[in-house]
Each structure stands twice: as structure tokens, then as C-alpha cells.
Amino acid sequence: MIINEFLVPVSPVLSLMVSAVFLIVLETVFKGERGQVGKLLLALAGPLVSIFLVSLVIPVSVVDSLATDNSQLPSWLMEFKNSYQLDRLSGALFLAINFFVLLTIVFVESFLKGVKEKTEVFSLLLFAAAGMMLLVSSGNLLMLFMALELMSLPTYILVGLRKNDLRSSEAALKYFLYGSFATVLLVFAIALLYGQFGTLQLSAISGLFKSQIPTGVATVAAFGLLLAAIGFKVGMAPYHLWVPDAYQGAPTPITGFMGSAIKLAGFGLAIRVFGQTLLPLVQEWATPLSYFAVVTIFVGNLAALRQTDLKRLFAYSSISHAGYLFLGVVSLGGGPQALEPLQYYLWIYGLLFLGTFGLLALVEMHKKNLDFDRLNGLGFQRPVLGFCFLLFLLSAAGIPPTAGFFSKYFILIQAFQSGQRLSVVLAALSSLIGVFYYLKVISHLYMKPAGAAETGVPRAPKAAFLGILLCGLGMIYFSLVPAF
């Protein structure tokens, strides 16, 4: 019973944690570069096994079998089943998280030079990924808090990996302070919800909201605190101030991880809280919340126009994408199929962001600063990688017929159908602003010759090349098959 009802559902998460623990044990036995190949293989095995287990656990027949005969379960197991939501949303996000952490491990091994503690980096990535998986499957406010901390604490360390780099240390400190403040807001929100409803279970709170929407001061305050806390985590305006500094100061492969996997986990949390548990309240306040999303889109795009550093530019780009994603969350309703545009967007955004920062990590190996001129002629020097970069940029800009266009189109159509017509028009206009700075990057790739200082971009390591190519092929696939 315990195997079927506990170990089987949680096995995708356990595979990551077991791999992380064994990596730490291996590092104590084989310190430094000794046994590095074995450590790398063990790090890759965690997400690969997790992907395999997800494919076994998530199908409907397995989920249905796990939901039967609950009367014979011990009380602690019943509590666990209510706190751990294993559904199709969890499955889609589990697969994405594992895929993104897999590519991040490859990029860290290929590009993160000057960091001796790579095994610890792998362990931290796996622990953070386990926290993400628990976060997007949380059905209990207490579990949600613990999962968020399991995701956040390793990430603070990863951002500050370069101990001798003041910018990295500054980024880690800012990320930690802003993240800690967001956690405080979340804890206050949990306390208010528990005081109002007398339960920590999201399903129970959702049931109470469906019967009657509470509009007391405590409920409104809890909603506002949750909005601010999640807004901090996903980098929405006006809670976005940490994003450019953290993305610029972190090691480039870690920035890719933050912008893909962590952003995905944050919006998985937003879907659980705003798109499911508090959905009636979100629908009641849909119009002002949609304006909140539109402001985020404009802030990200307008600020990106002024950037000269590529990492800061894509940091502001990630803020604008957070606005589109939140607009999708606000527009949820109408059954499980309403989640498909969001899942599609999260996959597209994760692929293009991770692939982009894999390419920037390659450029950074030869050229320490990442301004626009460092990309001059890259499209001709490295034609395959240049074409992949072109795909990422066109998708990020939402140029048809790329996957990025379809992802924005599906979100905007859903928002339009939910009644947020003015927000849709404003969001579409803002996307035109984004086209300018993406085209500026493309012009440096193909239209500006490389000067003496910009020549000699090294060949990508084979594993990293395959990782970037896989992201590019993923973009092509989702462009040809624009559905999830």
C-alpha cells in the first residue's frame, strides 16, 4: 500500500533527490576532478530517470488507480495524497523541469570554467529541481512553502558561485534579500488564509470559494500578499527590480536555468493558487489583474530598448514574457483545456531562453563582456548556432510563423474570449515594441561584420552544441505543431 500510494507518486521527485545526495557522497570520496565523468553521468541520470518515471506515473489509468479505496489508508497517507496533486498539469511541468535541468547540467559542465565545485553545483541544481516539482504539485499551503524554500535556497548559492566576482556576489545578495522578503509575504498570506478558512488544503479552500466568495479584509489582504509574493518570484512589475542585476551577475548557464525552470515553477505555483484555488476571486477582479499584466509587459519591453548588455536585455525580456504568462493565468477558466495555452507558452519560453543563454555562455568564453558588438558576424562564423539564435530571437519577438507567435496568439485569444479586450489590444501593441530590440540583436548577427576584437568565437563543446541544437529543433517542432 505504501509503495503504491506514496513511493510511486513521489518517485520522480525522489530520483532527483537521491541523485543529489549520492553526488555529495561521491564528492567526499573522490574530491576535485577525480571521477568527474562518473559524477556528471550520475547528475544526468537523476532527471533522465525522473522523466522515465513521470511517463509511467502520470497516465490517467495510473492516476485513477491511485485515487481508489482511500478508506483503508492511514491518516498520514491521506494527508499526503491531499497535499500532493498528481495530474496532467503536474506531468507537463515535471517533464519541462527535468528537461531544462538536464540541459543546464550540460551547459554548466561545458561552459562554467573557474568553478572547482561542479559536483556541488550539480547537487544544488537537482535539489532546486526537486523543489520545483513539489511546488507545482503542491495541494497544501505548508507543503507549498517548504517546496518554495527547497527551490530558492540552492538558487541563492548558484547565483553567487563566482566568489571573486563582485557582480556575482552583489546579485546573490539582492536575490536573497528580495526572495526572503517575498517569502515573508507568502507566510503572512498563508497565516491569513488559515485563520480565515481553518485549513491548509488548497482543495478545501477552493471548495469554500466556489460556494461563496469571501470578501472580508483578511481574504483581500491574503490575496494581495500572495500576488506580491508570486510577483516577486516570477519577476513581474513592480516587483522586478532584482531581475536585471541577478540575471547579469549570475553565471550565464545559471541565468538560463533561472529564466527557464525557475520561471516555469513560479508560474506553476501561480496556476495552482490563482488559476485553481482562488479562481472565483481572480475572475471577479480579472480586469485590474489583466492591467497589472499589461503594465509588466510594457515595463519589460520599454526598459529593454535602453539596454546595451545582452544579459540585462534578456532579463527585461523575461519580465515582459512574465506579463503575457500572467495574462494567461488571469484568463483561466472553462476546464483543463484552458491550461493548454499556458503550458505551450511555458515550454516555448523555456526552450528559447535556455538556448539563448547557452549561446551567450559560448560567446562569454571568448569575450568577457556581453554587449551587442560581441555578436557581430556570429551568424556566419557559426551558421548552425547562428540559425538557432535567429529562431530563438524571432520566437521571442512573436514573429509568425514561429512557435513564439503561436504561444502569444493562444494567450491573447483566450484573454480576448474571457472579456479582457482592452488588455489584449495593449499587449499586442507592446509586442511591437519588443520587435525593435530583438531585430537589433539579429542585425548584429548577420548585418555587421566582425572587427578584429570580435573574431574567433570558439567552437561549442559537442554536448553543449547538441543541447543548443535540441532547443532549436524544439522550436521548429512547436512551430510546425502549434498545439500542446
Q: Which residues of the chain have pLDDT under 70?
A: 1-6, 32-34, 59-78, 114-116, 213-215, 334-337, 367-368, 450-457, 484
Q: Which residues are registered as beta bridge partners of 138?
A: 84
Q: At what angle do helices 310-330 and 421-446 cross, to 10 degrees?
A: 160
Contact 454, 366 (CB under 8 A): no
Q: What is the pLDDT of residue 62?
A: 43
**How is residue 155 written as a grid cell?**
538558487
Q: What is the mean pLDDT of the chain?
A: 87
Q: What is the pLDDT of residue 419?
A: 87
Q: What is the pLDDT of residue 23?
A: 92
Beta carbons within 8 Å of 378's beta carbon, 6+ residues apart: 363, 385, 386, 389, 444, 445, 450, 457
Q: What is the pLDDT of residue 334?
A: 55
**CA distance readout (Å), 398 to 228, 331, 470:** 28, 20, 20
Q: What is the pLDDT of residue 61?
A: 37
Q: Is the pTM of this model over 0.75?
A: yes
Q: Give the Cα separation of 120 and 126 in Å (integer).
A: 10
Question: 367: closest CA among 381, 355, 354?
Answer: 381
Q: What is the pLDDT of residue 430?
A: 92
Domain boundaries, the chain: 285-484
